[in-house]
């Protein structure tokens, strides 16, 4: 389900205000009906309103379809829920996203998706706490340890949706100009076609899955931040079971988890925030880092054997203690009549028994889904379909429709991992692998080999394979645009500051923009100059001083 520009409008205090896009019970209005409604409002307003042109006002209304971030959150939550149902019926209907660290990057991504595929269906955005820390903190670049300002998270959500709204306004503005030209030429067929295209225009607004880290504090702090993120437009919040003051990137060492009840308090806090703000179908993604986390900061509270606290504590690495050997400062727990001393590090953290990560991970997933989460996120150390599937199979024994969000992380060496997977499969099958050095499989020397080709095919189909076999509903890459920005800048710097000089930019950037139809080659238009010219004309008529006249150098790109 997409919002189109034949969507609902309602009259509020004699002004036309866009109806929240999730409300499909009210009358749908086409562009023409919107103009008529505007004219009625202007006529009813009397003399003070008669200086306003009804069609101009209608255009501005349909170019800004979402009045608030909450309208966006409600609309996109509905999209995600429908996509989740579609995935349950057919795992081939999985969803995808790329992480974006700036509104412009998100905007260009969605413009590209519409250009290449015609629709944004099942394509989302991901907001990475890692990239906010690395790129958007006032402290400068920071590691992913929840040290950045938490207010920067809702600020980026709002920024992204501002840019996506502008993408709508820009695209519709072009349709309006084409409509004016068709009317002026007396071309009734093209006029009808363009009116239909305006009414059926698909918005660039898509769901954001937003990273709230470990909640930036206690459950109340999590609730307050969740509210800000939802108000900015987020329909899906991802929270992890690490301690908020010792939080680490999921692919770093030293991760510390919290007892289940501590984590569930934060899940409940997020659900209360969604309900309070009227986003009843908001999505909570519960992430477990237990697979790679060998430490906990707390011994869980337990009332009776077998309860959730007792299950958590059962994973602790303990030594049985003779009461005669008790020393100063030791901490003890009792289990099955025995006195045990959990292994405690100088950091005051407690150690889990080696080899318990997968069991803890499965328990985390089941518990989170039983207590308010909608989707799971299992952070793994490598992209291996069967490893993920093995855990999901166990979760689905208890919760059959359990689904994952999975990080197709740039922290994995995808080439080496999959070449080694193929190598191991061949070796187990008795195939001759003597031509390959397993530890050097990343080498360019192997790029043209049969093994490399098979590995690349497995990488290509990884998302589809994992969606079908391992319950992955949503595939994302957390940090792709961080890496693409670095790579493209390195390539440009090498050429421009080297022998190629200006040709390094023209040949590799501008010429490619023109030939690939990259809208941003007309950067003044992308920044909103044509939208501004339209508004100047609405407000000042013939007196408008517009930027897009014959002397604007962007006219050199008209053919592009």
Q: Which residues are catalytic?
A: 249
Give the whole-angstrom CA distance, residue 282 versus residue 271.
8
Instruction: Encode 272-303: b = buried (16+ Cβ within 10 Å), e = exposed.
Output: bbbeebebeebbbbbbbbbbbbbbbbbbbebe
With residue 62 as reference, give the H or E element that holds it. Answer: helix 54-63
Collapsed DSSP state (helix, strand, coil) of residue 28: strand
Task: Name the nearest CA neighbour of 266 among 224, 329, 302.
Answer: 224
Task: Name the nearest CA neighbour of 173 among 199, 198, 149, 156.
Answer: 198
Collapsed DSSP state (helix, strand, coil) of residue 542: helix
Q: State whether the Cα torsion 393-394-396-397 is positive or negative.
A: positive
| Contact yes or no for 249/298 (Cβ under 8 A) | no
Burial bucket for residue 62 (CB in 10 Å: 0-12, 13-18, 19+):
buried
Q: Given 3-state DSSP classes, what are the helix, strand and coil percentages for the chain, each rounded to the nearest 5?
A: 50, 10, 40
Strands 295-296, 256-257: pairing is parallel
Please state at what angle helix 69-89 crosses helix 152-184, rounded to 10 degrees: 90
| Contact yes or no for 318/270 (Cβ under 8 A) | no
Burial bucket for residue 103 (CB in 10 Å: 0-12, 13-18, 19+):
buried
Burial bucket for residue 355 (CB in 10 Å: 0-12, 13-18, 19+):
exposed
Report residue 377 as tokens.
Answer: 């996120």
| Contact yes or no for 148/133 (Cβ under 8 A) | yes
Give the whole-angstrom CA distance, residue 368 versus residue 389.
18
Report residue 468 as tokens.
Answer: 């079908």
Neighbouring CB atoms inside 10 A of 178's CB total 16
With residue 81 as reference, give the H or E element that holds it. Answer: helix 69-89
């Amino acid at each position: 389900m997409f919002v189109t520009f034949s969507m609902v409008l309602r009259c509020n205090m004699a002004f036309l205000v866009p109806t929240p896009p999730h409300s499909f019970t009210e009358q749908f209005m086409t562009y023409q009906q919107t103009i008529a409604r505007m004219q009625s409002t202007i006529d009813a307003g009397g003399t003070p309103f008669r200086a306003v042109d009804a069609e101009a006002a209608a255009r501005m209304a349909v170019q800004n379809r979402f009045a608030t971030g909450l309208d966006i959150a409600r609309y996109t939550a509905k999209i995600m829920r429908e996509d989740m149902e579609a995935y349950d019926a057919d795992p081939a209907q999985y969803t995808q996203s790329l992480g974006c660290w700036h509104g412009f990057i998100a905007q260009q991504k969605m413009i590209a998706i519409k250009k290449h595929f015609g629709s944004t269906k099942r394509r989302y955005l991901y907001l990475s706490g890692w990239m906010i820390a690395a790129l958007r903190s006032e402290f400068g670049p920071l590691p992913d340890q929840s040290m950045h300002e938490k207010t920067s998270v809702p600020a980026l959500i709002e920024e992204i949706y501002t840019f996506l709204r502008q993408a709508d306004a820009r695209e519709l503005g072009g349709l309006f100009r084409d409509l004016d030209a068709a009317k002026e030429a007396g071309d009734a067929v093209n006029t009808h076609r363009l009116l239909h295209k305006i009414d059926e225009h698909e918005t660039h607004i898509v769901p954001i899955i937003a990273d709230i880290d470990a909640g930036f504090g206690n459950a109340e702090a999590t609730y307050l931040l969740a509210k800000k993120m939802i108000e900015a437009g987020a329909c899906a919040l991802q929270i992890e079971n690490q301690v908020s003051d010792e939080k680490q990137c999921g692919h770093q060492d030293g991760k510390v988890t919290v007892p289940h009840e501590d984590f569930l308090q934060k899940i409940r806090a997020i659900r209360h925030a969604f309900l309070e703000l009227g986003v009843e179908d908001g999505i909570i993604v519960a992430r477990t880092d237990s697979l790679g986390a060998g430490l906990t900061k707390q011994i869980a509270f337990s009332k009776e054997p077998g309860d959730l606290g007792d299950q958590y504590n059962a994973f602790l690495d303990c030594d049985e203690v003779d009461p005669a050997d008790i020393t100063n400062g030791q901490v003890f727990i009792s289990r099955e009549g025995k006195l045990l001393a959990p292994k405690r590090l100088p950091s005051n953290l407690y150690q889990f028994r080696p080899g318990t990560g997968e069991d803890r991970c499965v328990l985390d997933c089941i518990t989170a889904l039983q207590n308010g989460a909608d989707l799971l996120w299992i952070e793994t150390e490598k992209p291996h379909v069967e490893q993920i599937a093995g855990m999901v199979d166990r979760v689905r024994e208890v919760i059959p429709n359990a689904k994952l969000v999975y990080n197709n992380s740039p922290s994995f060496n995808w080439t080496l991992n999959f070449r080694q997977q193929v190598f191991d499969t061949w070796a187990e099958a008795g195939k001759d692998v003597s031509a390959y050095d397993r530890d050097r499989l990343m080498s360019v020397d192997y790029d043209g080999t049969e093994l490399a080709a098979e590995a690349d095919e497995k990488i290509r189909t990884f998302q589809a394979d994992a969606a079908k076999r391992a319950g992955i509903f949503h595939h994302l890459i957390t940090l792709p645009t961080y890496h693409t920005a670095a790579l493209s800048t390195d390539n440009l710097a090498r050429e421009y500051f080297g022998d190629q000089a200006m040709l390094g930019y023209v040949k590799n950037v501008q010429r490619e923009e023109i030939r690939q139809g990259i809208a941003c080659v007309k950067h003044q238009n992308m920044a909103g100059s044509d939208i501004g010219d339209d508004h100047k004309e609405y407000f000042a008529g013939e007196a408008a001083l517009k930027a897009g006249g014959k002397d604007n150098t962007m006219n050199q790109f008209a053919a592009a």
